A = this chain, B = another copy of it.
């Protein structure tokens, strides 16, 4: 198991918020996706854009489930802890735990499948990606 869990910081703004003065629910899955993309970018050097175009590897989502604990606002940066929780033959699970000011905001579990991007066909990931993910696998409960 690797060391510290990767953290991705998001600047929540006015434009993310709805008339209830909290981030719109529809923005929260997007924040989680940004955090997963940042995980790839940090660990692999490439985010989804480069994976698709330079490596011909896609990772479309087949499932997501989120629990919302407390409202997200622009008053603190949103800290998203992200890690891979499971690696199957052709699939990968991610956990995202988001907090503001030390208080849990929301958490989510995500499942993606690896595909050959230009064929949109399910396929095991390249070896370097498999090795990278294996080195960072953790169960859902990170601590």
Interface window among A26-34, A95-103, A125-133: A26-34
Assess whether B68 is in contact with A61, with CB atoms less than 8 Å apart.
yes
Whose C-beta in chain B lies nearest to the C-beta of A58? Answer: B20
Most B-side CB within 10 Å, residue of A15, A37, A60, A65: A15
A25 at the interface (CB under 8 A from B): yes
Assess whether A14 is in contact with B18, with CB atoms less than 8 Å apart.
yes
A62 to chain B, nearest CB (A): 5
Q: Which of A17-53 contact B (CB under 8 A)?
A: 17-22, 24-26, 29-30, 33-34, 37-38, 47-50, 52-53
Total interface residues in chain A, CB < 8 Å: 41
Assess whether A13 is in contact with B25, with CB atoms less than 8 Å apart.
no
Interface window among A69-77, A86-94, A134-142: A69-77
Q: Is the interface of A mostly helix, strand, loop or mixed?
A: mixed
Q: What B residues does A30 contact at CB under 8 A?
A: 15, 26
Assess whether B64 is in contact with A66, with CB atoms less than 8 Å apart.
yes
Interface on A for B, CB 8 Å cutoff? 11, 13-15, 17-22, 24-26, 29-30, 33-34, 37-38, 47-50, 52-53, 58, 60-68, 71, 73-75, 117, 120
A-B contacts, 30 listed (Cβ < 8 Å): A13-B34, A13-B37, A13-B49, A14-B37, A14-B48, A14-B49, A15-B18, A15-B24, A15-B25, A15-B26, A15-B30, A15-B33, A15-B34, A17-B18, A19-B19, A20-B52, A20-B60, A20-B117, A20-B120, A25-B64, A26-B29, A26-B30, A29-B29, A49-B73, A50-B74, A60-B71, A61-B68, A62-B67, A63-B66, A63-B67
